[in-house]
A and B are shown apart, each in its own frame.
Chain A
Amino acid sequence: MALLQVQELRKSFDGLQVLKGVSFEMNQGETVSIIGPSGGGKTTLLRCLNFLEIPSGGRIAVGGETLFDAENRRGLTEKEIRQNRLHFGLVFQSFNLFPQYTALGNVSLAPRLRAKERPDYKARHKELGEEIEARSVDLLKRVGLGDKLNYYPHQLSGGQQQRVAIARALALTPDVLFFDEPTSALDPELTGEVLNVIRQLAAAKMTMVVVTHEMSFAAAVSDKVLFIDGGVIAEEGPPEQVLRNPLEERTRQFLRGYEK
């Protein structure tokens, strides 16, 4: 069974339909790339899947568990929304690191707060804190920042900040990790280090959805590519198809803009 199932997802903002029924599935360990023109609804899709926006219609399920179903009139409580978010992680275009925490603090903050909800927290808080710290250090080493643990965000380059943001998102072991144009805010010479980290994660079979304009990266890393235009998936398939020999004229036209 597919790990993530998205069915007929819709979202409108004051009458403006931005997502017009988006459906796709992905399996554990897959990397899906999303490409498409600006304003097509890619960010909105990711925001809906992370419950930063509540979809107007459709269904979202993870591992067979329905997280959201617009048919269910009751709506979601704050608590359910929070539980749902823990299935997913989101890496933002603009990093959004917490400026008052070090790299290590950024990574360990949410796990520490989570740990407080454990029934055995009182008895084991010291031990739990040490575990979290050790894990956070590991994650930062994994993204190549083992020597920057105690740096504050403003002391790091954009590429380094984005790698901290990736480590931070991994710290809660999400089922699916989403990236919204993770390198668009970076100077060209810094995109490589971030893309390399995502490549490593793909090799390690992290389940990921990456919105990107880096076509050669998408071709190399994805199991599947979605081309989103006008609030719908206009084409989907393996990267060799969508990126090299698209079936749809719209896709072809879009890709022409990326040829040198």
Chain B
Amino acid sequence: MFQTVLLSLTEGFGKTLEIFVLTLLGAVPLGLLIAFGSMSRFRILGWPVKLVIWIVRGTPLMLQLLIIYYGPGLILGNNWWGSGASGRFTAAIIAFIFNYACYFSEIYRGGIEGVPRGQREAGQVLGMTNTQIFFRVTLLQVVKRIIPPMGNEVITLVKDTSLARVISVYEIIWNGQAFIKSQGLIWPLFFTGLFYLLFSGALTLLLGWVEKKLDYFKV
């Protein structure tokens, strides 16, 4: 029995990891784009972007998952996602990426705006180009500033992946819960917690290491 459970949970955790990794791969760069959009001097771009961020951050991710998955079929009468597991998974990833990109964008914005104006100006009077200033002066200071809040979001994402079960993506909790119905076993569900703890523990260590690496200077 233990082996069956372990196998099933490991498989579910694979899905969890997939959601986690794909969300980060998508949301980290998309968040930067959204951040630049929200900081745009052109209000015609800035305002709509800010509105979208407000909506995404102000509503539950679970609701967004449901709307993104069922919306096309029920509102547009055309289910883009198809009916299979891969369609549900794609819809979930898109919802996650979009949601997390909005959170990340606010962190980026804070990080970028937190770099004192004098840093930029010091680069300018030294004849540096805007690109040089961004990559040689600003970027590392922004990274240092955003590591702690980004770390919090990443740890939250580990746990948020479980929301994907609402549109029947077979991640680890889904698989764990299945044993209640089929075998009347509750312990597999507790066991899923161990996976989360180990994974978020490892991430915490990694983030601490990165923070320490950037400890050589102060901003």
Contact = CB atoms under 8 A, between A and B. Distances in A.
Nearest to A110: B126
Given A98-B137, A99-B141, A100-B141, A85 B124 contact: yes
A110 B129 CA distance: 10
B127 interface: yes
B124 to A, nearest CB: 6
B219 interface: yes
Interface in B31-84: none
Most buried by B among A110, A114, A153: A110
Nearest to A50: B125
B217 A172 contact: no
A110 B121 contact: no
A88 B126 CA distance: 9
A113 B128 contact: yes
Majority DSSP secondary structure for residues of B touching A: helix
Contacts of A51: 124
Contacts of B123: 98, 110
Given A94-B118, A109-B136, A113-B136, A99 B218 contact: yes
A85 B136 contact: no
Interface string A160-198: 000000001100100000000000000000000000000
Contact of A98 (B122, B124, B125, B127): B122
Interface string A75-115: 00010001101101110101011111000000001100110
A152 interface: yes
Query: How extensive is the interface on chain A, given as a class?
Result: 20 to 34
B116 interface: yes
B25 interface: no
Interface in B114-171: 116, 118-119, 121-130, 132, 136-137, 140-141, 144
Given A98-B137, A113-B136, A88 B125 contact: yes
A89 B125 CA distance: 6
Interface residues of B, number: 23
A250 interface: no
B216 interface: yes
B128 A96 contact: no
Given A100-B217, A168-B126, A113 B121 contact: no
A96 B133 CA distance: 13
A99 B137 CA distance: 9
Given A99-B141, A113-B132, A152 B122 contact: no
Contact of A52 (B116, B125, B140, B144): B125
A178 B181 CA distance: 77
Of the candidates A82, A97, A99, the one having the most CB atoms from chain B within 10 angstroms of its own CB is A99
Nearest to A101: B217
